[in-house]
Amino acid sequence: MTSLSQANRIEALPDTFVSDRLARRKLRHVQERIIEFVLFLAACVSVATTLGIVVILLTESFVFFQQVSLWDFLTDNQWTPLFADAHYGILPLLSGTLVSSMVALLVAIPLGTIIAIYLSEFAPFTVREVAKPFLELLSGIPTIVYGYFALLFVTPLLQKLIPGLPGFNLLSAGIVMGIMIIPTVSSVSEDAMRAVPMALREGSYAMGATRFQTAIRVVTPAAFSGIAAAYILGISRAVGETMILAVAAGMQPNLTWNPLEPAATITAYIVQVALGDLPHGSIGYQTIFAAGLTLALMTLFFNVLGHMLRRRYRQAY
Amino acid sequence: MSEQTTRLESIRALIAAHKRWDLVFATVGVLALMVGVLTFVALFAQMMIDGGPRLSWDFFTNFPSRKPDQAGILSAWVGSTLVMIVTAATAVPLGVGAGVYLEEYAPKNWMTDLIEINVTNLAGVPSIVYGLLALGLFVYGFGFGQSILTAGLTLGLLILPVVIVATREAIRSIPAVIREGAYALGATKWQTTSHHILPYSTAGIMTGVIIGMARAIGETAPVITIGALTFIAFLPAAPLSGDPPAGLFDWVMSPFTVMPIQMFNWTSRPEAAFHQNAAAAGLVLVLMTLSMNALAIYIRYRLRKTIKW
C-alpha cells in the first residue's frame, strides 16, 4: 500500500523536475571540465616560460653565431663588441664571473656551513627561532642595496687595509655577494642536517662522543649530499648575480684572475648594454643573448647537479 | 693505586679537552651568525647616516633632477607601485591556479612530472635571463615596448615559482578528511576546492605572494634589461584624465622607472650628493621589502601556532 502510494507520488512529479536536475548536473560536469582545463593552462605557463627562454636565447644567439664563429667566441681573449675593432671572446667576462663567484664562495661556504651546523646541532631553541627568520630577512634585501653597500662601505674599508685598491674591484663585490648567499647555503644545509635521523646522533652520544664530534663525524658526513647541493645552489646564485657586480666591480671587461682588479661579469655586461641605446637586431644587441645563453647554460648545469645530489640525500633515509 | 689515579686523570683531561672543543665551536657559530648581524647593522647604519637627512616629504613628491638636493623619487615609487599591480595580477591567478592544478587535479603522468621539474628549475634561473626573455618576447615579439606592462609581466613570471610552491605547500597541509567530507556531501571537485581548499590555504598562499612581491619590488636586473629608462620626469596618465581623456588602462603602456633603477642611477654617478639620494632611496626600498618579509614571517608564525587540524 505504501509502496504503491510512493510510486504514485513519483509519477505525480512533473517531468521537468527530474530533467531539470539532470540538466544542471550535466552543466556542472561541463563546468568542472572547463575549470580543470583553465587550471591546466595556468600550470602550463611555467613550461611556456622555459620554452620561451630557450627559444629566445637560441634564436638570437643563432644569428650571432652566424657572424662570429663559436671558436672565436670561446678562445678570443678580448671582448670589445661595441668598439670599431670588435672582438667577441667570452673569456674576459667568464673570468670576471668565475673570480667574483670564487670570492663569494670563499665567504659563503665556510660561514654558511658553520651557521648550519651551529643552528642544527648546538643552538638553543630560542636562538634558532630568532636566527632563522633573521637570515631570511638578510636574503630578502634587494641586491641593488647590497651593491651600494659594497661600493660605498666595503670598498673604502678594504682600501684602508689594501692600499692601492681601485674603487671598482671584484674583491669587495665578491665578499658582499658571499654574505648575501650565506642564508641560501645555511638554510639548505641545515635542512639536510635536520633530516639525519635522531638515532644516528643518539648512537654517537651513547659511545661517549661530544656534540662537536657528533656534528663533524656523524651528522655532516650523513648529510653530505644535501650540503653539497646547498653549495651548488650557492654557486648558481653567485654566477647569476647581477647588480652587486654591475655597481661595485666596474663594467670593463678584463681577462684577469686577480680579485683586486676591476672586471666585468657576463651579467654586468648585459646590464651595460641594456643601459645604452642599441638598435634591435644589431650585432651588439645579439651579443647580450649569446652572453645570456652562456650564463643560462652554466646555471642550468649547476642546478641539475644540485637537483641530483638533493634527490640522492632524500632517498638515503 | 697511583697509576690508576693518573689514568683516571688523563681520561678526565681528555674529556675536558673534548668539551672545550664544543665550547670553541659554539663560539665560532655565534661569531659566524654575528657576521650576518653586523653586516645588516652596518648596511642599515650606513644608509641611515648617509641618506637619513635626505628623507623628507619633498623627497617623495619631487621628480628626479640634475640638482641632487632637489631630486626625489616620485616617478620611481609611482612606477614601482604600478608595476607591482601588474605583477600581482599576473602571478597570483597563474601561480595559485597552477598550484591548485598540481595538488588537486593533476594525474600522475609525464606531463605533471614535466611541469613539476620545470617549476623547480625556473626558480634557479638568474633573474637577468628573465630580462632577456622579456626583451625578445614582450618588448619586440609582442610589441609591448618598454612599458609598465612588460615589466609587470616579466616580474610576474619571475615570482611565479615562489607563488606556486607556497600554494602547493599550503594545500598539502590541509588534511584529506576535509576533502572527503565535502565529497561525501556530493560536492564536485571545484566546489570542494573553492569552498574549502582555497579559503583554508589563503594565509599560506598570502605568505608566498608577499615574499614574491618583496622580491619583485627589489629586482633591478630584469627591468634594466628590458630597457627601462633611468630618467623619468613625468607620471603615467591617470585613467580618464587629460584631454582627450586617457583610457582606463592606458597607463600600462606608459614608459616608467622603478625604485631600484632610480637607486642604481644615483649610485653609479660620481657625485657624493647623489650617493646620499641613493642611500635615501635604498632606505625606503629596504624598509619596504623588510616590512613585507616580516609580515610574511609573522603570518607563517601565527599559522603554525593557531591552526591545529
Summarize chain B as % helix, strand, coil (round to 5): 75, 0, 25
Please give the Cα distance from A271 to A286 (Å, whole number): 14
Give B214's contacts in chain A (Cβ within 8 Å).
Answer: 140
pLDDT in tens, A193-231: 888 888 989 999 999 888 888 998 999 888 888 888 889
From the list A28, A49, A140, the residue facing B289 with the nearest CB is: A140
d(CA B135, CA A89): 23
The pTM for the full model equals 0.86
CB contact under 8 A, A136 and B224: no
Q: What is the pLDDT of residues A111-138, one digit of tens each?
A: 999 999 999 888 888 888 888 888 888 8
Domain B55-306 has CATH 1.10.3720.10: yes
- State whether A43 and B214 contact (CB < 8 Å): no
Residues of A in contact with B132 (CB under 8 A): 53, 56-57, 270, 288-289, 292
* Contact state of B122 with A46 under an 8 Å Cβ cutoff: yes
User: Which residues in chain B touch residue A151, judged by CB atoms under 8 angstroms apart?
Assistant: 267
Domain range annotation of chain A = 2-67, 91-316
Reference A144, options A8, A287, A39, A246; nearest CA is A246
Cβ distance of B136 and A56 shorter than 8 Å: yes
Tell me which chain A residue has its CA closest to the CA of residue B25.
A212
User: Please, which residues have CB within 8 angstroms of residue A81's CB and are 6 or more apart in sequence?
Assistant: A87, A88, A283, A284, A287
The distance of B244 to chain A (nearest Cα, Å) reads 31
Which residues neighbour A221 within 8 Å (Cβ) at sequence distance 6 or greater?
Answer: none
Q: Does 1.10.3720.10 match the CATH number of domain A91-316?
A: yes
- Min distance A257 CA to chain B CA atoms (Å): 23
Burial of B130 (0-12, 13-18, 19+ CB in 10 A): buried
Contact B124 A47 (CB under 8 A): no
Interface test with A, best of B23, B31, B39 (most A CBs within 10 A): B39
Task: Give the closest of A143, A153, A215 to B46, CB-based.
Answer: A153
Spans of all domains in chain B: 2-52, 55-306
Region of A123 please: left (phi>0), alpha (psi -120 to 50) or beta: beta
Cross-strand bridge partners of residue A88: A79
| pLDDT above 70: residue A13 | no
Put simply, the answer to whether A148 touches B267 (Cβ < 8 Å) is yes
Residue B272 and residue A63: Cα distance in Å, rounded? Answer: 43
- Which among A43, A147, A148 has the least Cβ separation from residue B102? A43
CB contact under 8 A, A43 and B106: yes
- How far off is chain A from B60, nearest CA to CA, in Å? 19
Q: Is the peptide bond before B244 cis (omega within 30 degrees of 0)?
A: yes
Dump pLDDT digits (tens) for B65-102.
Answer: 777 777 778 888 888 888 999 999 999 999 999 999 99
| Alpha helix ranges (H) inside B101-244 | 110-123, 127-134, 148-172, 176-184, 189-192, 198-218, 221-225
- CB of B46 within 8 Å of a chain A CB? The answer is yes
Return the higher-pLDDT residue of A288 and B236.
A288
pLDDT band at A2; cut points 50, 70, 90: very low
Of A50, A141, A240, the CB nearest to B122: A50
Question: Average pLDDT in the B223-236 region?
Answer: 77
ipTM: 0.86
pLDDT in tens, A151-190: 888 888 888 888 878 888 888 889 999 999 999 899 889 9
Confidence (pLDDT) at B246: 67
**Among the ranges given (A24-28, B35-39, B171-175), the one the predictor scored with the smallest mean pLDDT:** A24-28
Rounded to whole angstroms, the Cα distance separating A267 from A288 reads: 9
- Cross-strand bridge partners of residue B197: none
* Percent of residues, chain A, with pLDDT higher than 90: 16
What are the pLDDT digits (tens) for A37-85? 999 999 889 889 999 999 989 988 888 888 877 777 787 777 777 777 7
Give the tens place of pLDDT for each residue, A250-297: 878 878 788 888 888 888 888 888 887 777 777 778 888 888 898 989
Contact in structure between B290 and A137 (CB atoms under 8 Å): yes
Return the pLDDT at A1: 44
C-beta atoms of B132 and A148 within 8 A: no
What is the mean pLDDT of the segment spanning B12-35? 88
The C-alpha cell of A94 is what? 667568464
Residues of chain A in contact with residue B98, where contact means CB-CB under 8 angstroms, are 39, 42-43, 45-46
* Of A182, A190, A176, nearest in space to A108 by CA: A182
